[in-house]
């Protein structure tokens, strides 16, 4: 039976009908065509599908749209400023070469934003532990950790 639901995606209200088994990742990619959210493993392991749900990082392949009724979803498409410049985390990934093939990058960036906003991230070890839910098969993580360290103070000063 179709289900009527309302939520906000990247600041815009969305009202839609879905089947109750629709995953958030499927909804974002196939209904809203926000294909920046990637589906890697589809088993909640790799983190490529990470989005922010009311500001907190979640794996959208492991959440039903029905569960996020009236919630705020932010995807990689929703973090860039209106002038088209990059979010500080995106700019840092670019500057530090924190990506190679780029498949994990949207999820990695969404996860890193939540890490910097809500968790301890002052040391290399904390950042590595904080990113255990995101797999990258190219970089060996070194440049990703550098990118998070570079973006963190810029994000903190923008927040305050």
Partner 1 sequence: MPSLSYHRPSSITEAVQMAHDDPDAKLLAGGQSIIPSLKLGLLAPSAFIDLGGLADLRGVRLAGRSLRIGAMSSHAEVANSADVRKHLPALAHLASGIGDRQVRNRGTIGGSLANNDPAADYPGAVLGLGAELRTDRRAIPADSFFQGLFATALGPDEIITAVEFPLPERAAYVKFPQPASRFALVGVFVSLTGKSVRVAVTGAGACVFRVPELEQALARGFSPESLAGITMPADALNTDLHGSAEYRAHLIPVLTRRAVAQALA
Which one of 50, 74, 75, 90 is in contact with partner 1 (CB under 8 A)? 50
Q: Which of 67, 69, 65, 71 is nearest to 32 (CA)?
A: 65
Residue 29 sits in the site that holds partner 1 (CB under 8 A): no
3 binds partner 1 (CB under 8 A): yes
Nearer to partner 1, 1 or 158 (CB): 1
Q: In sequence order, what are the beta bridge partners of 23?
A: 64
Query: With CB under 8 A as the contact rule, which of the stretches 74-82, 91-99, 113-121, 146-154 interacts with partner 1?
Result: 113-121
Among 12, 15, 43, 160, binds partner 1 (CB under 8 A): 43
**Residues 37 and 106: beta-carbon distance below 8 Å:** yes
Residues 61 and 44 sit within 8 Å (Cβ to Cβ): yes
Closest to partner 1 by CB, 32 vs 44, is 44
Q: CB under 8 Å to 70, separation ≥6 — which residues? A: 6, 7
Contact between residue 29 and residue 65 where contact means Cβ atoms under 8 Å apart: no
Q: Does 80 bind partner 1 (CB under 8 A)?
A: no
β-strand 72-74 against 3-9: which pairing, if any? parallel
Window 124-153: residues binding partner 1 (CB under 8 A): 130, 132-134
Q: Does 47 bind partner 1 (CB under 8 A)?
A: yes
Place of tokens 């990934």: 93
88 is a contact residue toward partner 1 (CB under 8 A): no
Contacts with partner 1: how many residues (CB under 8 A)?
A: 31
Query: Cβ(65)–Cβ(24) under 8 Å?
Result: yes
Name the site residues for partner 1 (rule: CB under 8 A): 1, 3, 19-21, 23, 42-45, 47, 50, 53, 56-59, 62-64, 66-67, 69, 111, 114-115, 119, 130, 132-134
């Amino acid at each position: 039976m179709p289900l009527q639901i309302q939520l906000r995606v990247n600041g815009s209200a969305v009202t839609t009908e879905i089947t109750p088994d629709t995953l958030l990742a499927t909804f974002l990619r196939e209904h809203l065509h926000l294909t920046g959210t990637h589906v890697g493993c589809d088993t909640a392991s790799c983190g490529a599908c990470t989005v922010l749900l009311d500001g907190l990082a979640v794996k959208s392949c492991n959440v039903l749209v029905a569960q996020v009724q009236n919630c705020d979803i932010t995807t990689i498409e929703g973090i860039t400023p209106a002038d088209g410049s990059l979010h500080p985390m995106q700019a840092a990934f670019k500057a530090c070469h924190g990506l190679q093939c780029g498949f994990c990058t949207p999820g990695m960036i969404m996860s890193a934003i939540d890490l910097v906003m809500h968790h301890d991230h002052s040391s290399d070890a904390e950042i590595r532990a904080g990113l255990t839910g995101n797999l990258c098969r190219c970089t060996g993580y070194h440049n990703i950790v550098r990118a998070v360290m570079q973006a963190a103070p810029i994000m903190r000063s923008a927040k305050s």
